[in-house]
Amino acid sequence: DSPDPVSLPIPISHLAHRYFLYSPPNIAYLRRHHNVCGVLIGSLPQVPSQNVFMGLPLELMPEEARVLVERGVAYIVDDVAAHREGLEKLKTADGAERRREYMRLLRDVGRKDAEEVMRKKEEVRRGALERAAKKRAEQQKKNGEDVGAEQRVEGGDAQDVDDGTELFSQRSGSVASRPSIPTESYNFITPTSSSPLFDVPPSSECASTSPAAIPVPDSYPLFAHLHANGYFLFPGMRFGCNYVAYPGDPLRFHSHFLSRGVKWN
Amino acid sequence: MADIDEDAVPPSGQPGVEVDLSEEAQDFRFLANLLNAGSQHKLPKRGEKDFEPDATQMQTSVLEASRAAMEDALSYTRVHRGKNRTKAILDYGGCGAFVEKPHDRHFMTMGRWTGGQIWLAPEEALYLLERGSLDVQWPPDLLPGDEGAHGAGEEDTVPMSLQAAYSVFIGMGQSLERPLTMEMYSVYAHLKRLGYIVIRAGIAQVEGPTTSPPARTTSLFSFLAERRSRSAAASLEKRGIAGPLVSPGLYRSYGASSPIHRLTISNKMLDDIFHLLRIIPSHNPTTKPTDTPTPPYFDPDQTPDPDALSITFHVYKPSSNYSKRSPPPPDYQIAVMSARETTVPSLAQLSSLLASTPYAPPPESMPLYQRLKKGHRNVILAIVDCGIVSYLTASDAGFAIEGIQWSPRKRGPPFKRSGGRKGRHRAAKPTGNGPR
């Protein structure tokens, strides 16, 4: 029901006999419509020193990759070959244009981030200045109530306050008039996915749409059966089984049972 | 995931209540709490989960919120701002990365100096890139940047994406002499995130621990142990092959208080009824492990056993005063295994793996059960199943020499001995705290 801006089939990166996904929309799409959740294995750059919330990449079990390829919603990309070949292609004249385009894209993201950072800084400074002004106003008020004692000192204080406010208005004026950031400033980006620079279409030599090319363990029929019945499956080695079966998205639901494939014949 | 060791666990809220949040799928809506808290030790509370889908609007909307929060968290872009940026150039041939100006605390324990630069091993480069601390660039000769887009003197290199880093450091490195496997990286990153210092075994040669136990003549302990076993053999001969195990007589001694005490009064030991009943030869971990059993199919003329396990990582506690130049003996040694490609290790595999670890007998002051758990040698097996790591300790425990049959009487108040009745007898060899 929710619009997923996903172009099918989805590329699954194949690397060292493992299967990975790098694109958050694709991951969300597979969770919603194909009850495939995978395991997040990377560090989350926002909070890198913990193991509770994990980040990209998302690793798929070979069983999951195979189910998705069988359904025709995904295809396998040999990531090593794709990057090797991509590097060669980028050396051509056509590649140079793509490269420039890619860099422009990254710089745009970096510039937006720089603007965002500047804007936040400005907000913080403005907030601090306002607080300072308020504090001074309160101080002034307090001093005003405290009339009796030292007229002279109080007068000096008032002078100070005047200076302060003047300074403040001057500053805020200059902030307002100054262009918020120099246009050339941008931050450096480490993109998550190699797309669009190293994109590989399903028709490419590095890609494969054949499910038989994905080696799966003997427990695959069990996996396919449970998956077809709508279960979300997690790898279950730590519980001594093949798969932990969840009745719905494990984000929301407790696991119902553990399952173990036993070879027949 | 089992904890590596009780004393290495970072401080958690309540002792005793062991809830490992990393064991389950987390509700990403709670990540915001973590981000705002600003403290690493404050872990989010376990989210409430439902039993099964009940098709209510409420449930659907909560699930949708969780999914949206997750997608949002995953969509974060790694940005290197101003002075915080550490730049590295990919070493494509050697599959590592060179850092020119390391000014990050990470480089206290990572990388090595080569010719005025720091060279990062693939796991180090990938880990730093993944956590957003390193900006790795493609080498300009491999993938030139956008010339002339910047002013003169500006760099024109292309940044590596996370995806490219995985495919280069793990995928392309497979042809190298010491490739980084995905299993190794999963374990490496997991331990690094916990704060441990992790070094690939064999890269920095550790001088400290020797693999052979101290010479037997110099050790009073082993001397006595040997003497004891000799006299036990003598007593066995005395009673004859067919004779009664316990010859008629008066027996009053049911054991002494501590192993050392027992050994120094070894003559009395002969009277010990338990000792006389012991007829099965047992393993002694204080002996040199030269006589490790080899599997019958193993031919010494052939190449080494492809299934042989080896130490993958040396691990140091975060608090240790680790120095890159002269690394101390490691706190833990980890062997990485793949759950999908290997089976439960055989005794032969485990024995030869343990033989490659330094001999470190448990200190005398340690309580009996801890001594058994630690063993005379120990190694941690990290078993990786599709990115999920379980840790198991395997140790060479001296069940025979520790004297587990004698109750640890003088080690504490009589009714407060730790674990005597609480089922810790379950500790089998190899002891392990198992995947929980």
Q: Are B88 and B107 in contact (CB under 8 A)?
A: no
Structure tokens at B141: 């000769």
Q: Are residues A224 and A159 located together in one domain of the fold?
A: no
Q: Are residues A112 and A241 located together in one domain of the fold?
A: no
Between CA B145 and CA B370 the distance in angstroms is 58
- Ramachandran region, residue A38 (left: φ > 0; alpha: ψ -120 to 50; beta: rest): left
Question: Is B375 within the bounds of a domain?
Answer: yes
pTM of the entire predicted model: 0.73
- What single-letter DSSP state applies at residue B38? -
* A100 contacts in chain B (CB < 8 Å): 146, 149
Rg (CA), chain B: 28
Q: Check which CATH number belongs to the domain holding A212 and give it.
A: 3.40.1170
Report the side by side order of strands in the sheet with A243-246. Answer: A232-235, A243-246, A257-259
Which of B74, B198, B344 to mutate: most A Cβ within 10 Å?
B74
Pick from A37, A90, A26: nearest CA to A59: A37
- Model pLDDT, residue B300: 47
- Model pLDDT, residue B429: 39
Among the three residues B115, B142, B171, which one is the final residue of a domain in this structure?
A: B171
Q: Are residues B308 and B392 located together in one domain of the fold?
A: yes
Q: Are A174 and A122 in contact (CB under 8 A)?
A: no
Question: Is B15 within the bounds of a domain?
Answer: no
Question: What mean pLDDT do residues A174-185 have?
Answer: 48
Q: Are residues B197 and B141 located together in one domain of the fold?
A: no
- What single-letter DSSP state applies at residue B303? S
Q: Are residues B99 and B115 located together in one domain of the fold?
A: yes
Question: Is B11 within the bounds of a domain?
Answer: no
Residue A133: pLDDT over 80: yes
Question: Is A190 within the bounds of a domain?
Answer: no
Between CA B179 and CA B395 the distance in angstroms is 28
Q: Are B2 and B382 in contact (CB under 8 A)?
A: no
Question: Is B393 within the bounds of a domain?
Answer: yes
* A248 contacts in chain B (CB < 8 Å): 50, 52-53, 63
Q: Which residue of A has its CA nearest to B87?
A: A188
Q: Are residues A1 and A84 located together in one domain of the fold?
A: yes
- Model pLDDT, residue B331: 85
Residue A223: pLDDT over 80: yes
Residuewise pLDDT in 10s, chain B (436 residues): 444 443 443 444 444 444 555 556 667 777 766 666 444 444 444 567 778 788 788 888 888 888 888 888 888 888 887 777 888 888 887 778 888 787 777 888 888 888 778 888 888 889 988 888 888 888 877 776 655 544 444 456 788 888 888 888 888 877 777 788 888 899 999 999 888 888 888 643 333 333 443 333 334 455 455 555 555 555 555 555 566 666 666 555 555 444 544 444 444 444 566 666 777 777 777 776 554 444 444 444 444 555 678 888 888 888 767 787 777 888 888 888 888 778 888 888 888 888 877 777 777 777 777 788 888 888 888 888 877 888 888 888 877 776 665 555 444 444 444 433 333 333 333 433 433 3
Question: Is B127 within the bounds of a domain?
Answer: yes
Question: What mean pLDDT do residues A40-64 have?
Answer: 86
Give chain B's count of helices (H) and strands (E). 12, 11
Long-range contact set of residues B139-143: C-beta below 8 Å, sequence gap at least 24:
B139/B89, B139/B90, B139/B91, B139/B92, B142/A87, B142/B90, B142/B92, B143/A87, B143/A90, B143/A99
Structure tokens at A265: 């014949």
Question: Is A8 within the bounds of a domain?
Answer: yes
Q: Are B51 and A4 in contact (CB under 8 A)?
A: no
Q: Are residues B371 and B388 located together in one domain of the fold?
A: yes
Question: Is B123 within the bounds of a domain?
Answer: yes
Which of A4, A251, A257 to mutate: most B Cβ within 10 Å?
A251
* A113 contacts in chain B (CB < 8 Å): 77, 79, 81
Give the B window 20-49 contacts with A, CB below 8 Å. 21-28, 31, 34-35, 40, 43-44, 49
Distance from CA of B261 to the nearest CA of A (A): 42
Kindly determine whether residue B194 and residue A251, on different chains, have CB atoms separated by under 8 Å.
Answer: no
Residue with tokens 């400290």: B208
Kindly determine whether residue A50 and residue B193, on different chains, have CB atoms separated by under 8 Å.
Answer: yes
List, for residues A5-20, the tens digit of each pLDDT value: 778 888 999 988 889 9
Question: Please, what is the angle between helix B57-74 and helix A24-33, to 10°?
Answer: 160
Pick from A101, A76, A93: nearest CA to A13: A76
Between CA B117 and CA B112 the distance in angstroms is 8
Q: Are residues A57 and A25 located together in one domain of the fold?
A: yes
Report the side by side order of strands in the sheet with B378-385. Answer: B197-200, B313-316, B332-338, B378-385, B388-395
Helix (H, G, I), strand (E, B) or coil at B301: coil
Kindly determine whether residue A15 and residue B35, on different chains, have CB atoms separated by under 8 Å.
Answer: no
Q: Are residues B328 and B377 located together in one domain of the fold?
A: yes
Between CA B155 and CA A97 the distance in angstroms is 18
Give the structural domain span for A240.
217-265
Q: Are residues A74 and A3 located together in one domain of the fold?
A: yes
Between CA A225 and CA B402 the distance in angstroms is 51
Q: Are residues A72 and A24 located together in one domain of the fold?
A: yes
Give the structural domain span for B308.
181-213+288-294+304-401
Q: Are residues B102 and B165 located together in one domain of the fold?
A: yes
Q: Check which CATH number belongs to the domain holding B354 and give it.
A: 3.40.1350.10
Element (H, E) at B78: strand B78-80
Between CA B322 and CA B316 the distance in angstroms is 8
Residue A179: pLDDT over 50: no
Q: Are residues A79 and A26 located together in one domain of the fold?
A: yes
* B318 contacts in chain A (CB < 8 Å): none
Question: Is A230 within the bounds of a domain?
Answer: yes
- Model pLDDT, residue B307: 65
- Model pLDDT, residue B10: 42
- What single-letter DSSP state applies at residue B30? G
Structure tokens at B376: 């005379």
Q: Which residue of A has its CA nearest to B164?
A: A194
Answer whether A187 touches B (CB < 8 Å).
Answer: yes
Q: Are residues A204 and A252 located together in one domain of the fold?
A: no
Q: Are residues A15 and A69 located together in one domain of the fold?
A: yes
Q: Are residues B196 and B310 located together in one domain of the fold?
A: yes
- Model pLDDT, residue A228: 92
* B162 contacts in chain A (CB < 8 Å): 22, 42, 56-57, 190-193
Domain count, chain A: 3
Q: Are residues B99 and B166 located together in one domain of the fold?
A: yes
Q: Check which CATH number belongs to the domain holding B135 and give it.
A: 3.40.1170.20
Pick from B179, B181, B334, B178: nearest CA to A18: B181
Distance from CA of A163 to the nearest CA of B (A): 34
The Cα angle at residue B89 between residues B83 and B93, in degrees rounded to 5: 165
Q: Are residues A17 and A60 located together in one domain of the fold?
A: yes
Q: Are residues B314 and B383 located together in one domain of the fold?
A: yes
Q: Are residues B346 and B273 located together in one domain of the fold?
A: no
Question: Is B71 within the bounds of a domain?
Answer: no
Give percent of chain A with pLDDT exceeding 90: 8
Helix (H, G, I), strand (E, B) or coil at B137: strand
Structure tokens at B375: 């063993």
Residues 6+ apart with CB under 8 A from B165: B125, B126, B129, B130, B136
Give the B window 155-174 contacts with A, CB below 8 Å. 158-164, 166-168, 170-172, 174
Confidence band (pLDDT; 50, 70, 90) for A226?
very high
Between CA A9 and CA A214 the distance in angstroms is 16
* B87 contacts in chain A (CB < 8 Å): 188
Q: Are residues B205 and B314 located together in one domain of the fold?
A: yes
Among the three residues A174, A205, A228, which one is the final residue of a domain in this structure?
A: A174
Q: Are residues A210 and A223 located together in one domain of the fold?
A: no
Domain count, chain B: 3
- Model pLDDT, residue A55: 86
User: Terminus-to-terminus CA distance in chain B, angstroms?
Assistant: 6
Question: Is A104 within the bounds of a domain?
Answer: yes
Q: Compute CA distances A257 → A95, B34, B47, whole Å.
A: 51, 30, 20
DSSP chain A: ------PSSEEEEEETTEEEE--HHHHHHHHHHS----EEEE--TTS-S-SSS-EEEEEEPHHHHHHHHHHTSEEEEEHHHHHHHHHHHTTSHHHHHHHHHHHHHHHHHHHHHHHHHHHHHHHHHHHHHHHHHHHHHHHHHHHHH--SS-HHHHHHHHHHHHHHHHHHHHHHHHHHHS-SS-TT---EEE-SS-TTTT---TTSTTEE--GGGS---TTHHHHHHHHHTT-EEEE-GGGTSSEEEESS-TTTB---EEE------
More confident residue, A169 or B247: B247
Question: Is A239 within the bounds of a domain?
Answer: yes
Question: Is A183 within the bounds of a domain?
Answer: no
Q: Are residues A64 and A97 located together in one domain of the fold?
A: no
Q: Are B324 and B270 in contact (CB under 8 A)?
A: no
Distance from CA of B364 to the nearest CA of A (A): 34
Pairing of strands A18-21, A243-246: unpaired
Q: Are residues B102 and B242 located together in one domain of the fold?
A: no
Question: Is B53 within the bounds of a domain?
Answer: no
Question: Is A137 within the bounds of a domain?
Answer: yes
- Model pLDDT, residue A142: 80
In B107-218, the DSSP E strands lie at 112-114, 117-120, 135-137, 197-200
Question: Is A253 within the bounds of a domain?
Answer: yes
- Model pLDDT, residue B147: 56
Structure tokens at A118: 């500047």
